[in-house]
């Protein structure tokens, strides 16, 4: 399984758990273009917190090192990792594959 496939699985699982926690009848669709935060977004601010904290924990466990999704690097990118599902997935891939 490639790193991107692993990340995709972790993200889909995390969104599934998030939907359960929120008591949502419908799961999140987890399409690449799903907007996470900003105009037309899927998440409110508290749900975004849950997503980020849960993802950090799962990714850190999977790759055996501390990974932060909200450090300065994430916050100052031209394209925010939290714009869409694919931008977050791409950012996580950068973090886990860098030496």
Partner 1 sequence: MITLTGKFITLKPMTIEHAEFVVKMRNLEHARFVNRGSATVEQQIDWIKSRPSNEINWMIYFQDQVIGQISLYTISEQHKTAEAGRLMLSPDIPKGYPISFEAILLVNTYAFYELKLNKVYGIVGSMNTGALKLNDFIKMKREGVLREHFIFDYICQDCICFGILRDEFIKVQEPFLKKVINLNKY
- In the complex, the smallest distance separating the C-beta of residue 93 from partner 1, rounded to whole angstroms, is 20
Decide whether 50 or 90 has the Cβ nearer to partner 1. Answer: 50
**What are the structure tokens assigned to 4, written together?**
């991107």
Decide whether 15 or 82 has the Cβ nearer to partner 1. Answer: 82
Scored b (16 or more CB within 10 A) or e, 14-45 reads bbeebeeeeeeeeebebeeebebbeeebbbee
List residues near partner 1 by CB under 8 A. 23, 35, 37-46, 49-50, 52-54, 70, 72, 75-76, 80, 82-83
């Amino acid at each position: 399984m490639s790193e991107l496939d692993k990340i995709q699985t972790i993200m889909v699982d995390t969104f599934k758990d998030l939907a359960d926690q929120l008591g949502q009848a419908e799961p999140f669709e987890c399409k690449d273009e799903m907007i996470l935060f900003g105009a037309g977004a899927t998440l409110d601010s508290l749900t975004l917190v849950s997503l980020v904290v849960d993802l950090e924990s799962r990714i850190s466990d999977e790759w055996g090192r501390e990974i932060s999704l909200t450090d300065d690097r994430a916050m100052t990118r031209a394209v925010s990792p939290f714009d869409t599902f694919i931008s977050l997935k791409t950012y996580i891939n950068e973090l886990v594959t860098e030496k």
